[in-house]
Structures are given as structure tokens and as C-alpha cells.
């Protein structure tokens, strides 16, 4: 395959990031890709305390107005490597010396992160796999370039699989790990012009002084005082 090697060598000499270089040569590398892709559901790594003012998420994993998404207490993190959980077809866990297992597990956990949008999880998943490819096949020798771009290709297939078909898995992960809870009522100290979620902390820090009287200490906050 001298033409392919020559193209890879010339492209690698250009001063551009390796990921961008791979995208430039992606079309020419399709022939070296072996295998297919898929991905798993999700998993968290967060803790919370029980709250009687909480409820289930909406069907689209959002919360009603006036409520915020929080981790469920007692949720157990779960991950199953690369591939759908319980799938009959075994998905390759990497490419050659490059191991995607850690990337797949982190992606599972991210799908249960109550503060992470799906797109962020998917983008981080691709970057993690790309890094695994670069670590497994470093340098610009012909053979390492060949395998590294093949590794990039498979990583991109896995990424496109979750980006395109992973909505149900993300929703399942969010509903497993998260719930909607009432936003805490904020209190406002006019003495130091500070908003507090905890009235106890407010009372400790908000002191009566010259020009600041008791009626200005730790009262319910107005929306313009504490917007969020």
C-alpha cells in the first residue's frame, strides 16, 4: 500500500492536531477499519440526601419550573464497558493495543451525571478514545500511523453510534440517577448584601451593625436580590 503510506507521511508532516489530521485522511482509511460499534446505558458517581420535596423527572429528563435536577440518594454507579448492556453481540473493547474500556465506562457514568448534557458526554467519549489511540500508537512511523488512523476510525464509529442512537440510554440513565427537587428558598442579608441557601449560615455571618438593623437580617430574598 505505498500510496496510502505516502499520503499518511505527507499529511503527518503538516503542523495540525492529530485529531484534525485524522479527519483529513478519514476517507482514505475506511478500508482498514475492522468491526462495528455500539454502547451501553449509563452510570453515576454522585451522592445526595433524602428530600421529601422531590419527584420523578419528566419523560424528557427535565424538571418542572421551580425545581432542579439532583442526584438520587443511594443510586449505585454501573458500567459495562463497550456495547449495550445485556447485548447478545459482543462489541470489541478497543482497537489492537488501544483499550476503549475505560472510555466506555466513563461514558456510562456520564449518562447518569445529573449536571452533564448528553452532547458533552458523547464528545468526551470520543476524545477519550482518541487519546487511547494516540497512547497505543505514538509517533509517525508508517505502521503506527496506519494503526492509529484505523483506531481513530473505529472510535468515530462508536461515537456516532451513541450520538445518533443513544438518546434512550441517556434518558434511562438520567431517570435512574436523578430526580426533581424543590429549589431551596434563599434568604438575604442586607448587611453584607449576600444570598444564602442555609438560614443558619446566614445568621452566623449576617451581623447587626451601624446602619444595619435586625429587620434586614436573613429575610426571604426577593427575585432581584437573589436571581438564582
Res 119: pLDDT: 97
Res 113: pLDDT: 97
Question: Would you give per-residue pLDDT tens digits along the chain (228 residues)?
Answer: 444 334 433 444 444 445 544 444 444 333 332 233 333 333 433 444 444 589 999 999 999 988 999 999 999 989 999 988 777 888 999 999 999 999 999 999 999 999 999 999 999 999 999 999 999 999 988 899 999 999 999 999 999 999 999 999 999 999 999 999 987 778 888 888 888 877 788 888 887 776 677 666 787 777 777 776
DSSP 62: -
Res 181: pLDDT: 93
Reading the block at residue 217, the C-alpha cell is 437580617
Pair 125, 110: CB distance under 8 Å: yes
Res 214: pLDDT: 65
Res 45: pLDDT: 37
| Element holding 95 (H helix, E strand) | strand 94-95
Per-residue buried b or exposed e for 98-123, using 16+ beta carbons within 10 Å of the residue's own CB = bbbeebbbbbbbbbbbbeeebeebbe
Res 52: pLDDT: 54
Res 1: pLDDT: 41
Phi, psi angles (nearest 5°) of residue 70: -135, 155
Nearest by Cα to 112 from 159, 71, 62, 168: 71
Sign of the dihedral through C-alpha 7, 12, 13, 16? positive
Task: Look at residue 67 and give its three-state secondary structure.
Answer: strand
DSSP 57: P
- Cα–Cα distance, 186 to 166 (Å, whole number): 37
Res 63: pLDDT: 94
Pair 177, 112: CB distance under 8 Å: yes
Task: Look at residue 181 and give its three-state secondary structure.
Answer: strand
Task: Look at residue 1 and give its three-state secondary structure.
Answer: coil
Q: Is 74 exposed, middle or buried (0-12, 13-18, 19+ CB in 10 A)?
A: exposed
Long-range contacts of 65-69 (CB under 8 A, 24+ apart): 66/182, 66/183, 67/180, 67/181, 67/182, 67/183, 68/180, 68/181, 68/183, 69/114, 69/115, 69/174, 69/178, 69/179, 69/180, 69/181
| Termini Cα distance of the chain | 61
Amino acid at each position: 500500500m505505498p500510496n496510502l503510506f505516502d499520503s499518511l507521511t505527507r499529511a503527518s508532516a503538516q503542523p495540525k492536531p492529530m485529531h484534525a489530521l485524522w479527519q483529513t485522511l478519514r476517507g482514505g482509511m475506511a478500508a482498514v477499519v475492522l468491526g462495528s460499534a455500539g454502547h451501553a446505558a449509563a452510570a453515576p458517581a454522585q451522592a445526595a440526601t433524602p428530600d421529601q420535596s422531590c419527584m420523578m423527572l419528566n419523560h424528557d429528563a427535565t424538571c418542572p419550573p421551580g425545581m432542579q435536577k439532583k442526584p438520587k440518594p443511594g443510586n449505585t454507579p454501573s458500567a459495562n464497558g463497550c456495547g449495550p448492556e445485556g447485548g447478545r453481540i459482543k462489541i470489541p473493547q478497543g482497537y489492537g493495543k488501544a483499550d476503549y474500556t475505560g472510555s466506555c465506562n466513563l461514558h456510562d457514568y456520564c449518562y447518569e451525571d445529573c449536571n452533564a448534557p448528553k452532547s458533552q458526554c458523547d464528545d468526551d467519549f470520543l476524545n477519550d478514545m482518541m487519546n487511547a489511540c494516540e497512547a497505543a500508537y505514538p509517533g509517525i512511523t508508517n505502521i503506527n500511523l496506519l494503526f492509529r488512523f484505523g483506531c481513530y476510525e473505529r472510535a468515530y464509529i462508536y461515537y456516532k453510534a451513541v450520538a445518533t442512537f443513544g438518546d434512550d440510554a441517556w434518558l434511562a440513565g438520567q431517570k435512574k440517577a436523578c430526580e426533581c427537587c424543590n429549589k431551596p428558598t434563599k434568604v438575604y442579608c442586607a448587611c453584607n448584601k449576600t444570598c444564602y441557601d442555609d438560614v443558619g449560615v446566614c445568621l452566623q455571618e449576617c451581623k447587626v451593625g451601624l446602619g444595619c438593623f435586625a429587620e434586614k437580617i436573613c429575610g426571604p430574598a426577593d427575585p432581584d436580590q437573589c436571581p438564582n
